Homo-oligomer: A and B are copies of this chain.
């Protein structure tokens, strides 16, 4: 569309169709320069799996790793959005820019409540140092988790200092999302006490920092005690030797002290922080516990290790998605399945036999 010698800018990038290398360059250079419009367009392109989206992600790959990614997960109603909003405010007060990726539940039966939260969070969205994006849909070929991680990469490349990935923990995939953060924060409420024994085993282990929100309600200390017992049993860590925490008002110092003391010793103590996010209580101690975790990650080399493991996992996802696309778009498998549907329906051929034939046909060794 542009004439020779004319600079290719964001305005020249077409709204649909394949992206040219020039389009990708224009988008990426505006995105890394902090352009919000470029960021929003890149996110849409990645979410929709529009042809060329992988070129954008490939182009930003060398720039990743600057942002600190914090996952916030927990059961519905734990107040994660309010807490996220408070964290955003606290990071902003420190002069840091913040992006929030809010992963809406995939549940077909729970629409309303979350939308309300989202609208409330708009108060911080008026700040130009804050960017909020909801992920409600799946990518066309990858799953929600893969697409969410790719959107998080875009936010990292766009220069945000902190990225909060907030997921309603209704399913394994949401937990997977939270687990891909540098620091994962599990938010519970006093009422969660009865359910703590029934948490699937991966949940406790995925959390770096525990938050008991709405801690002004009865049962917060009891829940903290249960979490600590469970952590002690499950991990046999140094946590039970930490000074006991007493009362909500005293939450600030012990959480930080525990985190610092054990972090110095090499093991991460998994602090439990009491908050009442709706009125702002406990947010500073939480920020301190989170920062202590990040400092621990950097000091011990765990950050490099975690990110390397995550990159391995990510690469597998990307390879698998590319393989799936090749299988269904280019390999002829779809045509084979359709052509032999009569045989399948009559029972003369099983899906398993046909799958075996298709895979044999794909193997390069068979054809050499």
For A76-91 the 0/1 string (1 means CB < 8 A from B) is: 0000000000000000
User: A354 in the interface, Cβ–Cβ < 8 Å?
Assistant: yes
Are A315 and B337 within 8 A (Cβ)?
yes
**How many of A's residues come within 8 Å of B, CB to CB?**
78
User: A257 in the interface, Cβ–Cβ < 8 Å?
Assistant: no
**Which among B105, B172, B326, B352 is the interface contact of A61 at CB below 8 angstroms?**
B352
CB-CB < 8 A to A110: which residues of B?
Answer: 75, 195, 198
User: A70 in the interface, Cβ–Cβ < 8 Å?
Assistant: no
Q: Which applies to chain A's interface (DSSP): helix, strand, loop or mixed?
A: helix
Are A200 and B315 within 8 A (Cβ)?
no
Are A326 and B364 within 8 A (Cβ)?
no
**Which among B57, B108, B349, B353 is the interface contact of A352 at CB below 8 angstroms?**
B57
For A84-118 the 0/1 string (1 means CB < 8 A from B) is: 00000000000000000000011111111000000
Give the B-binding residues of A (Cβ under 8 A).
Answer: 54-55, 57-59, 61-64, 74-75, 105-112, 138, 169-173, 175, 194-195, 197-200, 202-203, 307-308, 311-312, 314-316, 318-324, 326-328, 330, 333-334, 337-338, 341, 344-345, 347-356, 358-359, 361-364, 366-368
A-B residue pairs in contact (CB < 8 Å), sample of 17: A58-B353, A63-B347, A74-B109, A75-B109, A75-B110, A108-B200, A108-B202, A109-B203, A110-B198, A138-B172, A171-B173, A307-B345, A311-B341, A319-B333, A323-B362, A326-B362, A367-B368
